[in-house]
Amino acid sequence: MVSTSAAVRSGLHFLPTPTTQTLSPNQLLLPLTAIVNSQDHLEIGGCDVPDLVQRFGSPLYILDEETLRSGCRHYRQAFHRYYPGESLVIYASKAWNCLAVCAIVASEGLGLDVVSGGELYTALQAGVNPELVYFHGNNKSIDELQFAIETGCTIVVDNWHELETLARTKAEGGRMNGNPPSPIRILLRIAPGIDCHTHEYIRTGHRDTKFGFDLDQLDQVFAFVSQKPALNCVGLHAHMGSQIFELQPHVDLAGMMMRWMSKAAQYGLPVKELDIGGGLGIRYTEADDPPSIDEWVRVICEGVVRVCAEQGMPLPRLMAEPGRSLIGSACVTAYTIGSHKVIPGLRTYVTVDGGMSDNPRPITYQSVYRAVLANKLSAEATETVTVAGKHCESGDIVIKEAQLPQTHPGDTLVVMGTGAYNYSMASNYNRLTRSAAVLVNAGEANVILQRESYQDLIHHDCLPERLVEKG
């Protein structure tokens, strides 16, 4: 292993050091266990990254278990530190929902936020306690609602259509020994009308959003729910968006939501839970400077405690739903470099064997990433290149201006911070097979997602008999 001082002299400032180890995982570019080893290779979780590519192929998602668990513990411990009441950290699994990830966060004592029947099914198959599962979404189907009721998870109600549908639903899942079904446990989602600086596609708290009840509807909503014994409204929920660095909007949100908790109680609703969503950002490049998990939790807890004291209200069960800030920095994606195209005086394209099918965020959100060459980590960055994907789209650009050493076909390019919304938004565009994922820990690598095969691609295809060529 190269020493810390040698790493600094080589310009490896993106690697964790004894100083940066005090930061929370969302503030790091690479996973906590990342080092440069004696071969000048990037090593994560005790595993040599170029060797992982040789063993498992590329593109390859590499998830560091220690970083993911550390993020879970940072959140849990911060709530215990700053909040005198009951609290629950809920992983927003849309960031990356698969059996292994669900099992890890559940083993750390977190609940799970799901937004579809598929995510709910995966969570249950991973052994997550349904009482700790919260089912979100702005257009849940009848089948999904029934599935949620039968499993006993909490439904976060988003709109009038869903509220009226649930009020009419016979909750068969609660029936025991011929007794009537139990009331359906719900939270009400509110569109708080608080704006924050993030991409418009992932901004959800402002008034012009598809999510949640508008503030001017709430009295009518509370009155409706109070008259429906089939509905047990236990709390309120709001979420402002994703990849947020500001703290003040979260303070404003906490205060506003507590006032609506008080109003809901006036209608006789047994509201005891307050879910303030998630949205804390991560560091994708050196220019990013997100607050720490500890700082984010502290300002929210202090805001809720202050409002409760001012209004003489009991402390609610306080919940948060981090996703990206738990898993984003815990994963990297390793690619193999292929072709080069030099346009003199304009641009050099370096192509990798993946792109928008394994990471659609750059083409969707114009997201910016940081990359390194994992097989020559300390080599000086001498080139500015555009890292292009292999898909038939001019917009399939992974990184527009990447600072890299001289690259060659066969080099291993690693893109940092790919744990959130990469695998979960992956596709088979151009009929590329979806990438494999490995979980690394203490020198051991375990496959948690198999690489798809060509046979997998046509598994659900159907060819009508009349189109089959007769021999």
Locate the domains of the chain by residue range. 4-65+328-457, 136-321
CA 59/CA 435 separation, integer angstroms? 6
Task: Match 């609703």 to its residue by tokens.
Answer: 269
Q: Any idea which architecture 136-321 has in CATH?
A: Alpha-Beta Barrel (3.20)
Measured in whole angstroms, how far is the alpha carbon of residue 224 from the centre of its chain? 33
- Tokens of residue 176, six digits: 């025991």
Before 25, cis peptide (omega within 30)?
A: no
Tell me, which fold does domain 4-65+328-457 have in CATH? Lyase, Ornithine Decarboxylase; Chain A, domain 1 (2.40.37)
How far apart, in Å, are the Cα atoms of 307 and each of 75, 78, 254?
22, 19, 8
Q: What is the pLDDT of residue 170?
A: 56
Q: What is the mean pLDDT of each run of 10 residues along the chain (471 residues)?
A: 38 69 88 96 98 98 98 97 98 98 98 98 98 96 95 96 88 46 92 60 53 89 94 94 86 87 93 94 94 96 93 94 97 98 95 97 94 96 96 96 96 98 97 98 98 97 88 53
Q: What is the pLDDT of residue 242?
A: 80
Cβ atoms of 143 and 116 within 8 Å: the answer is no
Phi and psi torsions of 27, nearest 5°: -100, 0
Q: 10 Å Cβ neighbour count for 395?
A: 13
Q: What is the pLDDT of residue 34?
A: 97
Q: What is the DSSP letter of 341?
A: E
Phi and psi torsions of 15, nearest 5°: -85, 145
Q: What is the pLDDT of residue 253?
A: 87
User: Do 136-321 and 4-65+328-457 fall under one CATH topology?
Assistant: no
Cβ atoms of 405 and 381 within 8 Å: the answer is yes
Query: Which residues are catalytic, by number?
Result: 392
- Helix/strand/coil percentages in the chain, nearest 5: 35, 25, 45
Helix (H) or strand (E) holding 431: none
Find all residues with CB under 8 Å of 392, minimum gap 6, and list them. Answer: 430
CA 86/CA 80 separation, integer angstroms? 8
Dihedral angle over CA of 306, 307, 310, 314, nearest 10: -100
CA 322/CA 320 separation, integer angstroms? 6
pTM given for the model:
0.92
Plot region of 54 (φ>0 → left; ψ -120 to 50 → alpha; else → beta)? alpha
Task: Return the CA Rg of the chain.
Answer: 24
Cβ atoms of 278 and 323 within 8 Å: the answer is yes
CA 17/CA 15 separation, integer angstroms? 6
What angle in degrees, to the nearest 10, is found between the helix axes of 142-151 and 160-168? 60
CA 222/CA 230 separation, integer angstroms? 14
CA 99/CA 228 separation, integer angstroms? 36
Kindly report the length of the chain.
471
DSSP secondary structure string, 265-282?
A: HHTT----EEE----B--
Q: What is the pLDDT of residue 12?
A: 72
